[in-house]
Amino acid sequence: MSEVRGAVIWFTGLPGSGKTTVAKGVMRRLKEMGYKVELLDGDEVRKWLSPEAGFTREDRERHLIRVAHVAKLLARNGVLALCSFVSPYRYVRQRVRGIIEEEAPFVEVYVRCSLNECMRRDPKGLYKRALRGEIKHMTGVDDPYEEPLKPEVIVDTEHESISTCVVKVLNKLKELDIIA
C-alpha cells in the first residue's frame, strides 16, 4: 500500500479577511476528491489547545507553535491539515514553516483583504470592540499584521469570489504535487 502524503496549508490574513471561509471551501472540495482533511480554525483550536493564552505577541507565538506541532502530526499521518490563523507576525510564520517542513510540505496562503473591508465585514464585532478600547492587541487596530513576503498562494477575497479563491488554492496544491 502506498503512503498518502499529508501537508499543511496555512491560511493567514487579517481578522475578517475570509481565511476560514476559503479553508472550508478547500476542505469541502478535497473531501469530495477523497482526501483526509482536517481544518484547524483559530477560534476553535484556541479553546482546547491554548485556553490560557491571551493575544500578546508572546501568547500568539506560543499558541501558533503548538498548532504547528499538531498540524505536523496530522500531515505526517497522511492528513491535509488546513490551518486558519491570523498569525500576524512573519517571524512566527517562519518558525511554523520550519517546524512543519521537518516532516511535511508547507503551503502558505495569504488571504488578502484591505483593513477597511475587514472592518466593514467585522463578522464577530471585534473591530468595533477594539476601537472602543474593549479589546487589546487587536490585529489591524493596535497590533500590526505583517503581510507574507513570498506566500505560495495569494487569494484576494475583496476582489475575487470565494469559489475563485478555492480553485486558486487547489490549483497550487496540484502544481506542488500535493494532490492529484
Kindly tell me the burial class for residue 113, based on how many C-beta atoms sit within 10 Å of its own C-beta (0-12, 13-18, 19 or more).
buried
Inter-CA distances, 146 with 7, 74, 143, 178, Å = 24, 27, 10, 27
**Residue 24 grid cell:** 472550508
CA distance 92 to 150: 14
- Residue spans of beta strands (DSSP E) within 99-144: 106-112
CA distance 74 to 100: 10
- Residues catalogued as catalytic: 87
CA distance 84 to 175: 21
Whether the CB-CB separation of 70 and 63 falls below 8 Å is answered with: no
Whether the CB-CB separation of 165 and 25 falls below 8 Å is answered with: yes
